[in-house]
Every structure is written in C-alpha cells, then in structure tokens.
Amino acid sequence: MSGVLWIIGAVADNERWWIWIIAIAIDLLSAAARYPTPWIGRVPLDQYDRTTAHLGERYQQFVILALGDIILVPTLELSRSEFDRFRITALLCAFAIMLLLWQIYVYRAGELLETAAASVPGRSTRVTPYSHLVLLVGVAVTAASFDLVVDRPTGPTPARWLMLIIGGPLIFVLGRVLFAYLLSARVPWRRVASQLLPLLVLPWAGGWPPVLVSAIVALALAVHVLAPRSGGRETTRGLGPRRPAG
C-alpha cells in the first residue's frame, strides 16, 4: 500500500509531499501494529529477536548515508558560488559537524541494540525505527542549514536560519537520546547539557555571521563527544525491562 503511494509521489507534479506523508504514516503505523495482513496475521514477536543484528546494521547504514548529505549539499552549493575563505570555512564546519554527529550516533549504538534484545525481547527492533526517524530529520535540517550558510556565510543570521543551524544538530542529539532511553531508560545528561551552549547564545546569535554560529554548534557537539562519562556505562549488560514511573 505505501509502495504505491511512494511511486505516485515520485511521478506527481504537485502535492507529492502530502502523498509521501501518507505513505510514511502507513509505514509507521503498520510497523507499530506488527504488519497485520489478512489471512496471514501479524509478525510473531520472536521473529524480531532473530533480525535484531541484521536490522541494526541496516539502521546504521541509513544514518551514514544520510550524514553524507551534510557534505554533499554545501559542496554542490560551493561549486556554484565564488570560492572565498568564509565559504570554505563554512564547508569545513559542515564536515566537522558531520563527523561529530556520526561519532555521537555510533557510540555503543550496536551494543545498545544487542543489550536490549537480550533483556527485552523484540523491543529493540520495534522501537528503533521511530528514534531513527528523528535522527534522519535532524540530518535533513542540518544539511539544509549548510546549503544556506555556504551560500552566504557572512552578515547577520536571520531567525529562520538560526532555527535550522542550531535546530538540526539538536534534533539529531535528541533522537540519539530517545534511542538510548527507549532501550535502556538511561539518559547521558552530561552529554546532553553540552547542547545548551548554542541555546544560551541564541539571543545574540542573530547579529553574528552564520559561519560563526555554525562553529559554535560544532564546538558544542565536540564537547558532547569529548565529555567524560558519568554514572557508569551508557549500556550495561543484563538491563531489565523499563519499569513504569510510580
């Protein structure tokens, strides 16, 4: 059902986004319901356990491919513009942010999936797509922001640009936190706190050049990656199911 809508949206001249939104909704809702099919039934829960490692690798490949857009989009923009030091600096910021987001994602992501699969059968495979959807949204927003920054790296930064430049990596980090929380009920608060730096400078960032705002975002992500761990490991073997609050 969703495949038909994906194809229709690809060939449609207009309204394709609404068609694709419906296709995404069908994919997500059917996954949450374990793909109910007439005369066949739903996917058995034990089948999810046998595919955890396989799907975990596929999710990582999706994220890695998406991260490439953070470099591809501004590189194409730079090829259409005049080369100068500010545009090249913006491209270097994009490259640094791409590497930092990659490091934030891959840090024990595979181990977290395996741990959750052992302690909460079927849960890791079923909840992972939703957290990865947030990650991919963050990547798309970040790539769009550098398309703008490379085009005009100097001058004041409009409010809409600030939302993209700061919001993209922030959404990505929140998606990674959601991924860890859904599987282990643990949140790396010290690492998350590093993302407060771009938010603290937000009231003044409108008067700063976009390339400087991008550098501050890269600095915050670097603190996120380099911050020492607290409270033990982010993933621990033998984690039990999450208990409801109260």
Categorize the per-residue pLDDT at 52 as very low, low, confident or very high, splitting at 50, 70 and 90. Answer: low
Q: Does pLDDT of 96 surpass 90?
A: yes
**How far is residue 61's CA from residue 205's CA, in Å, rounded to a whole number?**
34
DSSP state of 82: -
For the domain spanning 46-226, the CATH number is 1.20.1410
CB 20 within 8 A of CB 9: yes
Q: Which residue(s) pair with 41 in the sheet?
A: 37
Distance of CA 81 to the CA centre of its chain: 28
Name which residue leads in pLDDT, 85 or 59. Answer: 85
**How far is residue 69's CA from residue 6's CA, in Å, rounded to a whole number?**
21
Beta-carbon contacts of residue 170 (< 8 Å; ≥ 6 apart): 138, 195, 198, 199
Q: Does pLDDT of 34 surpass 90?
A: no
Q: Mean pLDDT over all residues of the chain? A: 82
Residue located via tokens 């996954």: 31
Handedness of CA 152, 142, 67, 1 (dihedral sign): negative
Q: Does pLDDT of 238 surpass 60?
A: no
- Could you read off the pLDDT of 177-194 as tens digits, one per residue? 888 887 777 777 777 788
Q: Does pLDDT of 235 surpass 80?
A: no
Average of pLDDT values for 46-66?
76
Beta-carbon contacts of residue 187 (< 8 Å; ≥ 6 apart): 177, 180, 181
**What's residue 115's pLDDT?**
63
Q: Does pLDDT of 66 surpass 80?
A: yes
- Could you read off the pLDDT of 154-165 as tens digits, one per residue? 999 999 999 999
Name which residue leads in pLDDT, 30 or 186. Answer: 30
> For 67, how many CA atoms within 13 A lie in the half-sphere containing its CB?
22
Q: Does pLDDT of 209 surpass 70?
A: yes
Beta-carbon contacts of residue 67 (< 8 Å; ≥ 6 apart): 98, 101, 102, 139
**What's residue 232's pLDDT?**
47
**What's residue 46's pLDDT?**
73
Per domain, the residue ranges of the chain are 1-43, 46-226
**What's residue 191's pLDDT?**
72
Name which residue leads in pLDDT, 119 or 171. Answer: 171
**What's residue 8's pLDDT?**
92
**How far is residue 211's CA from residue 145's CA, in Å, rounded to a whole number?**
11
DSSP letter string, 156-205: ---HHHHHHHHHHHHHHHHHHHHHHHHHHS---HHHHHTTHHHHHTHHHH
Categorize the per-residue pLDDT at 35 as very low, low, confident or very high, splitting at 50, 70 and 90. Answer: confident
Q: Does pLDDT of 171 surpass 90?
A: yes
